[in-house]
Each structure stands twice: as structure tokens, then as C-alpha cells.
């Protein structure tokens, strides 16, 4: 079985590629010309160059039976709204169209819990829940919602597609890093004197990779599956990091209006004057909501693993610590 993977240089994609190889798949990975290939070093994969919006993806996918469309543009900067739409929405439309014409038998499309939205008052929600798109915070979440609609259009036209919605993966190969990886890095570098009151659903990134393969094997066409595990407040996450590292966790939270004001000034005023912003306004807005989810459907129907979050955080800490040392 030959799998075509987009986003294989990224966090989830790199873990998925490794698992596919371990499971005996031949893997062909789509990478952009300017992609960092560190996450694919020494792996026996076929690399093809291209972009999600390239019309020649049909030829790139020739000979593959399954598609894992993991790639997505991630940004919380409001200035990137056009890029998010072009990559996530139009790119998904194009690659699914090319997959249909290339004879791909089944596609696993990697959406996100971002496309689902959040429940009221910190309520954990499942796959049946959907926030109105106008209530999704920021262009990234909206772009993932509209990209998922592209997948649904393709399903309605007869394509065999299963949708997976990872929550917040943690673990190794978080190269960019993700916002959660950035939190771990800031914690390790002792650059987090305060924290905001929020909440996340965490899952070992290797379990997310397994969720993709299990969705391929067991998922129902047209269904979506939340790939998540444990709901934690931000304070609980920091306490776990403190226990793992021996470093002190920040003791005090700060009111929402402080980071919001700082982010608003940076993005709305200073960015227009040429200063690169350091705090994403949409990121602060997201933090006002607890992003809790119920992944019991994926656990029950797919057999999604639920690995210990403390172990996953330990693996992430070890990976980031090594990178800090390598960077000098």
C-alpha cells in the first residue's frame, strides 16, 4: 500500500510518516520547495516537490492508493488571513479534486477541533457539536471550518473521505513549534512569569498518528472523529511541566485584558509601523475560552489510544531540551 502524505515535514505529519513506515507502507511525501526537511532526515520516503494548489498534483499522486491530507497553514496573525484561506481552503479543494482524478481509494483529511468550536462555560463537546462559523475565533479556525466544508462537498460527490479532528498534540518533532510547543519552550527557558486562565485538550502526538491509520482502517465515510484525550486547565498543564522538569511553575495568573491590550496595540498599531508583533491578538482571544473536547467516539469506534499525558509531556520536554542544547 502506497500512501501519499501532505504535511509530512510538520509535527503531526512527521509522526504519521514514521508510523506508516513502521506499519509497512510505502510513503510518498509532498513538500514545498522551501520546506525544512529535518523531520524527514534518514527516512526511506519518496519526496516529491509541489504546492497544495498545484494543478499537477494528479501526477504526483499517481500510483498511490490512499491520501493523508495533513498539511495546513497555521497562523494566528490577522495579517495572514488571505494566506490561510488560499492554503487551507483552496488547497484542500484542489488536492481532493486531484485525488479523485488520480483514483485515490480513500482519503483521511486532517481537520482540527478548531473547526468544531468550543462549548459554553468550559463544557467538553463532541463531534455532533458545531459552533456557528461567525463565532469561531480568528481566521485560522474559520479557514479550517471552510476547509472541512470542502471535504464534505467531495464526500457528497462520492469520494471516500474520513475526517479527523486532532485537539492539542504534544510530543517529539514539534519543529516549528506549535503554540503548545512554544509554551513548553518558554517554560524551559524560564520566560513565563505569569499565565492566563484557559484550558486545553491534550493528546500524545503518536496517538494522533495512530488515529489517522485507525481512521483509514475503521473510520466511516463522511464521519469526523475527535483525536483527543485529557482536558487540562493551563494551570494544571504548567504544574505537570514543573513536576517533570523540576522548574517552578508560575504562581500567578494575569487578567485577560492585559495580554489583550498588549496584543491589540502590537497588531493594530505597531505592526503598521513596521514592528513585528510578538503576541497574536486572536491567540489571546482564544485563551478566553476553555477548549475542552470529548474523544470517546474515536476511542470506541476506532480504538484510539489514550497514552499517559505525563509521558507525552516528558517526551516533548526531552525533545525540546535536546534542541535547545543543539542550538547552543
Which cell goes with 4? 501519499
pLDDT digits (tens, 9 = 90+) for 192-210: 888 888 899 999 999 999 9
Relative orientation angle of helices 309-326 and 179-188, to the nearest 10 degrees = 70
Digit-coded pLDDT (tens) for 94-107: 999 999 999 999 99
Nearest-CA neighbor of 172 among 9, 14, 8, 3?
Answer: 14
* pLDDT in the model for residue 326: 81
pLDDT at 310 over 90: yes
Q: What is the β-pairing status of strands 230-233 and 199-204?
A: antiparallel
* pTM of this structure: 0.93
Residues whose CB falls within 8 Å of the CB of residue 247, separated by 6 or more in sequence, listed in order: 187, 188, 190, 241
Mapped onto helix, strand or coil, the DSSP state of residue 158 is coil
Please tell me the predicted confidence (pLDDT) of residue 260.
76
Whether residue 271 lies inside any domain: the answer is no
- State phi, psi for 105 to the nearest 5 degrees: -80, -40
Quick check: is 26 in a domain? yes
Whether the per-residue pLDDT at 246 is higher than 70: the answer is yes
- Alpha-helical runs (H) found in the chain: 11-22, 57-60, 81-84, 91-102, 138-156, 179-188, 205-218, 234-245, 257-265, 281-287, 296-297, 309-326
pLDDT in the model for residue 8: 95
Q: What percentage of residues in the chain have a pLDDT greater than 90?
A: 75
Cell of 284: 489571546
pLDDT in tens, 141-192: 999 999 999 999 999 999 999 999 999 999 999 998 998 998 999 999 998 8
Answer left, alpha or beta for residue 241, where phi above 0 means left and psi between -120 and 50 means alpha: alpha
Residue 38 inside a domain? The answer is yes
Q: pLDDT tens across 5-51, in order?
A: 999 999 999 999 999 999 999 999 999 988 899 999 999 999 999 99
- CB within 8 Å of 173: residues ≥ 6 apart: 11, 14, 15, 39, 205, 319
Judged by average pLDDT, the poorest of 14-23, 82-91, 278-287 is 278-287
How many separate domains does the chain show?
1
How far is 8 from 31, CA to CA, in rounded Å?
7
Residue 34: predicted pLDDT: 87
Domain holding 68, by residue range, is 2-171+202-230+292-307
- Is it the case that residue 84 has pLDDT exceeding 80? yes
Q: What is the pLDDT of residue 273?
A: 77
Q: Is residue 182 part of a domain?
A: no
Query: Picking from 44-58, 152-166, 277-291, 302-316, which range would have the lowest pLDDT averaged per residue?
Result: 277-291
43: in domain:
yes
Give residue 271's pLDDT band: very low, low, confident or very high (50, 70, 90). confident
pLDDT of 91 strictly over 70: yes
Residue 328 pLDDT = 66
Q: Could you give the angle at which helices 11-22 and 205-218 cross, rounded to 10 degrees? A: 60
Is residue 221 in a domain? yes
279 is written with which cell numbers?
503576541
Q: Domain with 116 in it: what CATH number?
A: 3.40.50.720
Is residue 243 domain-resident?
no
- Has residue 249 been placed in a domain? no
Phi, psi dihedral angles at 224 (to 5 degrees): -120, 150
Handedness of CA 29, 33, 39, 45 (dihedral sign): positive
Amino acid at each position: 500500500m502506497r500512501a501519499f502524505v501532505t504535511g509530512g515535514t510538520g509535527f503531526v505529519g512527521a509522526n504519521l510518516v514514521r508510523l506508516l513506515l513502521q506499519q509497512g507502507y510505502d510513503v510518498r511525501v509532498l513538500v514545498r520547495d522551501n520546506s525544512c526537511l529535518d523531520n524527514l532526515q534518514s527516512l526511506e520516503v519518496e519526496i516529491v516537490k509541489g504546492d497544495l494548489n498545484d494543478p499537477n498534483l494528479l501526477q504526483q499522486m499517481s500510483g498511490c492508493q490512499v491520501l493523508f491530507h495533513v498539511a495546513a497553514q497555521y497562523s494566528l496573525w490577522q495579517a495572514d488571513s488571505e494566506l490561510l484561506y488560499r492554503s487551507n481552503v483552496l488547497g484542500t479543494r484542489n488536492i481532493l479534486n486531484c485525488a479523485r482524478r488520480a483514483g485515490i481509494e480513500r482519503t483521511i483529511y486532517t481537520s482540527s477541533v478548531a473547526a468544531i468550536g468550543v462549548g459554553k462555560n468550559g463544557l467538553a463537546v463532541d463531534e455532533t457539536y458545531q459552533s456557528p462559523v461567525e463565532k469561531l475565533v480568528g481566521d485560522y479556525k474559520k479557514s479550517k471550518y471552510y476547509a472541512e466544508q470542502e471535504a464534505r462537498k467531495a464526500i457528497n460527490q462520492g469520494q471516500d473521505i474520513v475526517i479527523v479532528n486532532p485537539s492539542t498534540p504534544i510530543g517529539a518533532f514539534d519543529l516549528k513549534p506549535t503554540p503548545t510547543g512554544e509554551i513548553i519552550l518558554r517554560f524551559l527557558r524560564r520566560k513565563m512569569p505569569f499565565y492566563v486562565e484557559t484550558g486545553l485538550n491534550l493528546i500524545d502526538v503518536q496517538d494522533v498518528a495512530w488515529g489517522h491509520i485507525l481512521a483509514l482502517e475503521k473510520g466511516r465515510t463522511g464521519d469526523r472523529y475527535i483525536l483527543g484525550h485529557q482536558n487540562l486547565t493551563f494551570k494544571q498543564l504548567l504544574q505537570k511541566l514543573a513536576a517533570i522538569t523540576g522548574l517552578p511553575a508560575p504562581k500567578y495568573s494575569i487578567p485577560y485584558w492585559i495580554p489583550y491590550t498588549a496584543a491589540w496595540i502590537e497588531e493594530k498599531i505597531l505592526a503598521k509601523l513596521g514592528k513585528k508583533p510578538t503576541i497574536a491578538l486572536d491567540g489571546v482571544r482564544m485563551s478566553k475560552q476553555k477548549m475542552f473536547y470529548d474523544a470517546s467516539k474515536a476511542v470506541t469506534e476506532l480504538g484510539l489510544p489514550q497514552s499517559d499525558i505525563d509521558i507525552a509531556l516528558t517526551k516533548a520536554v526531552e525533545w525540546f531540551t535536546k534542541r535547545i542544547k543543539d542550538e547552543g
